[in-house]
Amino acid sequence: MTHRLKLGIAGLGTVGVGVWKLLNENRERIFANAGCELEITAVCARNADIDRGIDLKGVRWVDNAVELASSDDIDIFVELIGGEEGIAREAVETALAHGKHVVTANKALLAHHGNELAAIAEKHNVALNYEAAVAGAIPIVKSLREGLAGNNVSSVVGILNGTCNYILTKMASEGREFADVLSDAQKMGYAEADPTFDIGGHDTAHKLAILTCLAFGSRIDFNSIYLEGIEAITQADLKAVHELGYCIKLLGVAIRTDSGIEQRVHPSLVPLTSPLAAIDGAFNAVAVEGNYSGKIILQGAGAGQKPTASAVIADIIDIARVNALYPLGREVAKLAPYQRARMRAHEGGYYVGLAVHDRPGAVAAIAKRFGEQEISLESIIQRGTDTQSGEDAEGGGQQSVVLIIHETAEAALREALASIEADGHIADRPRMIRIEKTI
């Protein structure tokens, strides 16, 4: 072992402290695999006075992350602050421009600025590694960038947000409503005080944007992602889909189609027989299909101190092995422009939930609207009074009607649902969930 690589860590929160601990705990194995010694020479966080349960003696404390990023006493800048703008972005740009390798867990930063950051890394011939940014301990970035590099990938489908998966799993297993489970998840620390980012699907979308680039060799294009969160999922939906042989998962899906790449994040019906249906609680999973590899599914802990630190350390070891690759898998100049497939052109099966006024002819009128769009129904479940909505405003009863619809164009389904709403036979907006059969 001849050389020593010096690390500067910015951010000593959950992940930063985890990286510190792992580096100390598995020191021998890490040094052996890296082929050199790794030394944390300087660190930075907001508050120098917090007891973080680690011994920072002998390590230089730097107040400003940007200053740390350009310090002479570091070779690798490890960004574990977070946030798409502000100090994290400025510090990463500074580090790359000063010829430092960068390791980050920051998916928001990469989803919004990954193309530009990768170009700076290329220009200065340094690594930009971000395994921890997607699905925690699961080595999906490495798998796409290296292990599957020879394949034409047709789809990437992932459960990428542990909070959403935890909430949906609990709702299904305990029969509780969304708001109730969310409030528990917040008390237990699984969900943030402001959970919008997770439950609205934004966090999943950040990760999907990165995976799409690696899978299809196209520029990262976060703004083209079709996005729906899990807030509208009800107990009635979960029960109905279960009877029909499905569960509901928040999926990030990227699929190559004839018209471009579909990038979408929304609740999806997953057949109970699919391996993704078995991913419960805060776990993550990613399924990739390559034309030679076939289908590959990786699953594991998608967040948390230890799993995330595991991915950060693997990235550092890669750099030590002089394994600096193109950050986005190929030269930025050779990334294709992202070509977006229109969501209305999406074709698939659907679950539709309707609260129908209990009147003669209402269900027949609804069926007629589907027929007009040449939409055929796979199954229909009709129940008496909808326990969700009870009596309607007119004092009459409601029926809960749940339909599973055969493969159809989304545009046709939206037309049919718009006509059904306009006809006035339903008490609420229709609930529509796409069925994911690619996995």
Ligand X SMILES: NC(=O)c1ccc[n+]([C@@H]2O[C@H](COP(=O)([O-])OP(=O)(O)OC[C@H]3O[C@@H](n4cnc5c(N)ncnc54)[C@H](OP(=O)(O)O)[C@@H]3O)[C@@H](O)[C@H]2O)c1
CB of 154 to ligand X, least distance (A): 27
CB 390 within 8 A of CB 345: no
Q: In 219-230, which positions are buried (b, 16+ CB within 10 angstroms) versus exposed (e)?
A: bbbbebbbbbbb
CB of 104 to ligand X, least distance (A): 7
Contact between 392 and 417 (Cβ < 8 Å): no
- Give the type of residue at 230: I
Which residue number, 214 or 244, has a Cβ lying nearer to ligand X?
214
Chain residue whose CB lies nearest ligand X: 13
Nearest distance in Å: CB 308, ligand X: 4
Give the span between the Cα atoms of 424 and 202, in whole angstroms: 34
Residue 190 or residue 216: which is nearer to ligand X going by CB? 190
Residue 109 and residue 89 in contact, taking contact as beta carbons nearer than 8 Å: yes
DSSP-based three-state secondary structure for 358: coil
Minimum CB separation of residue 43 from ligand X in Å reads: 9
Q: Is the backbone of residue 294 left (phi > 0), alpha (psi -120 to 50) or beta?
A: left
Nearer to ligand X, 190 or 351 (CB): 190
Q: CB neighbours of 322 closer than 8 A, spacing ≥ 6?
A: none
State the Rg of the chain over Cα: 24
Structure tokens at 298: 């990786």
Our CB check for ligand X shows the closer of 199 and 362 to be 199
User: Least distance in Å: CB of 11 to ligand X?
Assistant: 3
Please confirm, yes or no, whether 207 is among the known catalytic residues: yes
- Residue nearer to ligand X on the CB measure, 105 or 286: 105
Distance CA 346, CA 262 (A): 8
Cβ closest to ligand X, residue 41 vs residue 308: 308
- Using DSSP, state whether 380 is helix, strand or coil: strand
Binding site for ligand X (CB under 6 A): 10-16, 44-47, 50, 65, 80-82, 87, 105-107, 132, 136, 303-304, 308
Residue among 207, 249, 334, 437 flagged as catalytic: 207
Rounded to a whole number of angstroms, the distance between the first and last alpha carbons of the chain is 45
Minimum distance from residue 161 beta carbon to ligand X (Å):
11
368: CB partners within 8 A, 6+ apart:
none
DSSP states of 212-265: HHHHH-B---GGG-EE--STT--HHHHHHHHHTTEEEEEEEEEEEETTEEEEEE
Catalytic residues: 207
